[in-house]
Structure 1
């Protein structure tokens, strides 16, 4: 993977006006500037998905970088069947789900220690502020959903993908998207009501 620092790229062709398929072909040829251009074009969309999945955290930034590294490492597997942004979103969602599972396992390992110390934990999140804005409120609620439910909410409700597009991105049937969405919305309502009581 090339260093994503702008000055580190070996410029072999002007890439800012290239179509997506041309960029991919240039990346396959080893044109670092093409990879840089692809990152520039897609980093905001990837960051939005990951912020919704993981919050505004260092882990979200790490997963964002890993998303582009995975794309670059597996460039030969990309077949132009979907837009690059769709392919990157799928990579980002899968990596975010894996990160959520890692965080959950880490929490479950730390939890018994917290209980032995009378519940004191620096990692325990507290939501004592009534002045929290809506975006932070929603992010807090989303973080309490299971990662597979959060992925469906993020793609369908926050990013506007259709049921079929969401199913394709997650590699699951459309019916599963609908059932997860229904359960996630029900759970989200309960979580938001509890947060409003605080």
Structure 2
């Protein structure tokens, strides 16, 4: 997210205006935080229409809860928490859809590994690397996926991640260790050590 210019209204000022019914103020908040929300949602779900829908739903939920937000958490953290919760709901819906329409052998989330997007002898570019990481994330539990997205992709600290997920910091650290170990196993045949997620 780009820094907010010193002359720009603060989040608190925009929130007060939005609560008074000023739609322009709410739009400015959306513009201020949409990149952060998009990064989290795409990290959780991968790019596509599903992520777009969840990103929109995040801001709809925020708008509906304007009067409930009291500033106990920084606004970006609050929005990220909504984005994570909506993403987890989408993942649950996705899994129920797979369970209904695919057999376990056909379910894209059932297999431990899938074919890489390029042959092993080819150089993997940034697009292929991103695709591989998202494929690997599909094989983590939802709890582990959320920690990886927040800590390693979005760059939140352990404390911030714990606040967003409402869990102890020790839980974040243990989930991150297990998740990165699993990702290293999944990705090591395709990515160099420098490209693997690090704790």
TM range (shorter): 0.7 to 0.9
- Aligned residue number for residue 51 of structure 2: 60
- Counterpart of 1:143 (choices 121, 138, 147) is 138
**Partner of 1:191: helix, strand, or coil?**
helix
**Which residue in the other structure is 1:174 paired with?**
169
Rounded Cα–Cα distance in structure 2 between residues aligned with 1:120 and 1:90: 29
Equivalent-residue separation in structure 1 for 2:14 and 2:54 (angstroms): 23
TM-score, normalised to structure 1, is 0.80
Which residue does 1:183 correspond to in 2? 178
1:155 and 2:150 correspond: yes
- CA distance in 1 between partners of 2:144 and 2:136 (Å): 12
2:85 is the counterpart of 1:85: no
Q: Which one is further off, 179-188 or 58-67? A: 179-188
Q: Is the 8 A contact 1:23 1:35 kept in 2?
A: yes
Q: Which consecutive residues of structure 1, in runs of 5 or more, have no partner in the other structure?
A: 1-15
Q: Is the 1:55–1:143 contact (alpha carbons within 8 Å) kept by the matching residues of 2?
A: no
What does the per-residue CA deviation read over 1:6-31, in whole Å, with 9 as the maximum and x for residues that have no partner?
Answer: xxxxxxxxxx8211000111111111
Question: What SS does the corresponding residue of 1:86 show, helix, strand or coil?
Answer: helix
Using the alignment, how far apart are the partners of 1:74 and 1:103 within structure 2?
26
Show the counterpart of 1:106.
97
SS in structure 1 at match of 2:102: helix
Rg larger for: 1
Q: Contact 2:98–2:107 (CA<8 Å) still a contact in 1?
A: no
- The reply to whether residue 50 of structure 1 matches residue 41 of structure 2 is yes
Give the helix-richer structure, 1 or 2. Answer: 1
TM-score (norm: length of structure 2): 0.80
Regions of 4+ moved over 2 Å: 124-133, 193-196
Task: Specify the SS of the correspondent of 1:129.
Answer: coil
1:62-95 CA-to-partner distances (Å, cap 9, x unmatched) read 0000000000001111111222111110100111
Partner of 2:20: 29
